[in-house]
């Protein structure tokens, strides 16, 4: 497939290979849990692009979602599958680029893009692909570091443009109905890859026709 393997796949493979245990732990984001409850998201079919070692997909699978996930890192996907098996969870996991997810259009009730920090052009394509996969009235949950993570704290995805600026994201998803957007300052304790003070952007949208 053109553009595959992804140019950063090797870099991510190395990160996951050298991590002691799960790089981002097994606990899902509190925001994803809150969204499911607060917005009473129907339990259905969910897609997680860039799911890494799988913590968010497993969280939704435990709730009863029928989950598929992808990541460009085959090391991450192998680790995710081992964890799924250990927990006796059945999920669909593939090594694939979230710009071209190998799933049917209009088939998902929920897409959750969690901490996928990629250049703006790539992010726009990933969000467009997510839009194709979602059913009408399906939901998109997004969470990642706010640009202040880079500019004020000097850590996170490296460059501010890789972070989630809520205004930019709203513009990119303009025809969608934004249900909620928040920027929070918190302390992460997710695994060796996510530790300490953090500025997060968390948003949920409903797909409109
Ligand atoms: C910071 S990690 C977050 C992993 C996971 N979402 C979590 O929150 O634990 C970002 C992940 O995005 C993946 N990734 C980056 N670009 C991607 C793309 N175009 N398609 C699929 N996965 C991608 C990386 O391999 C990595 O696993």
53-88 residue pLDDT tens: 999 999 999 999 999 999 999 999 999 999 999 999
Is position 3 within any domain? no
Our mutation pick for probing the ligand 1 site, out of 1, 13, 46, 72, counting the most ligand atoms within 8 A of Cβ, is 72
Determine, yes or no, domain membership for 43. yes
Number of domains in the chain: 1
CATH, residue 108: 3.40.50.150
pLDDT of residue 2: 52
Q: What is the pLDDT of residues 110-134, one digit of tens each?
A: 999 999 999 999 999 999 999 999 9
Residue 20 lies in a domain: yes
Residue at 160 is within a domain: yes
Q: What is the pLDDT of residue 23?
A: 97
| Residue 4 belongs to a domain | no
* 158 within some domain: yes
Mean pLDDT of 88-101: 98
How far does residue 78's CA lie from ligand 1's centre (Å)?
Answer: 14
| 1 in a structural domain | no
92-95 and 45-49 beta bridge pairing: unpaired
pLDDT above 70 as % of the chain: 98
Find where tokens 């897609």 sit.
Answer: 47
Say whether pLDDT at 1 is over 70: no
Angstrom CA distances, 53 to 40, 75, 102, 179, stand at 26, 8, 19, 28
* Stated pTM of the model: 0.96
User: 51 CA to middle of ligand 1, Å?
Assistant: 6
- Nearest-CA residue for ligand 1 atom 6 is 51
Q: pLDDT digits over 6-39, tens only?
A: 899 999 999 999 999 999 999 999 999 999 999 9
Tell me the CA distances in angstroms from 62 to 14, 72, 89, 126, 208, one per residue in order.
29, 24, 8, 25, 28
In this prediction, residue 3 carries a pLDDT of: 67
Structural domain range at position 63: 9-206
Q: CB under 8 Å to 92, separation ≥6 — which residues?
A: 67, 68, 69
Pick from 141, 68, 57, 60: nearest CA to 102: 68
- Please give the full DSSP string across the chain, using - where no structure is assigned: -TT-S-TTHHHHHHHHHHSSS-TT-SPPPHHHHHHHHHTTPPS-EEEEET-TT-HHHHHHHHHT-EEEEEES-HHHHHHHHHHHHHTT---EEEE--TTS-SS-TT-EEEEEEES----HHHHHHHHHHHHHHEEEEEEEEEEEE-THHHHTTS-SSSSGGGS--HHHHHHHTTTSEEEEEEEEEEEEEEETTEEEEEEEEEEEEE---
Ligand 1 shell residues, CB under 6 Å = 6, 12, 24, 49-52, 55-56, 70-73, 76, 97-99, 114-116, 118, 122
Instruction: Look at residue 141 and tell me if it is in a domain.
Output: yes
Q: Residue 169 in contact with residue 201, Cβ under 8 Å?
A: yes
């Amino acid at each position: 497939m053109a553009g595959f393997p992804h140019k950063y796949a090797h870099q991510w493979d190395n990160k996951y290979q050298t991590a002691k245990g799960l790089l981002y732990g097994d606990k899902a984001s509190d925001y994803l849990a809150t969204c499911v409850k607060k917005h009473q998201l129907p339990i259905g079919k969910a897609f997680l692009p860039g799911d890494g070692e799988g913590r968010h997909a497993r969280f939704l699978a435990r709730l009863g979602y029928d989950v598929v996930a992808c990541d460009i890192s085959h090391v991450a996907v192998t680790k995710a599958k081992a964890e799924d098996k250990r927990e006796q969870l059945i999920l669909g996991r593939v090594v694939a680029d979230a710009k071209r997810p190998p799933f049917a259009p209009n088939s998902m009730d929920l897409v959750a893009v969690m901490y996928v920090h990629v250049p703006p052009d790539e992010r726009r394509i990933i969000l467009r692909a997510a839009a194709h996969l979602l059913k009408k009235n399906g939901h998109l949950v997004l969470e990642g570091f706010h640009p202040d993570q880079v500019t004020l704290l000097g850590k996170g995805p490296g460059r501010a443009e890789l972070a989630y600026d809520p205004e930019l994201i709203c513009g990119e998803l303009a025809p969608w109905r934004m249900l909620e957007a928040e920027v929070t300052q918190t302390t992460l304790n997710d695994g060796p890859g996510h530790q300490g003070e953090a500025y997060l952007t968390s948003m949920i949208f409903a797909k409109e026709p």
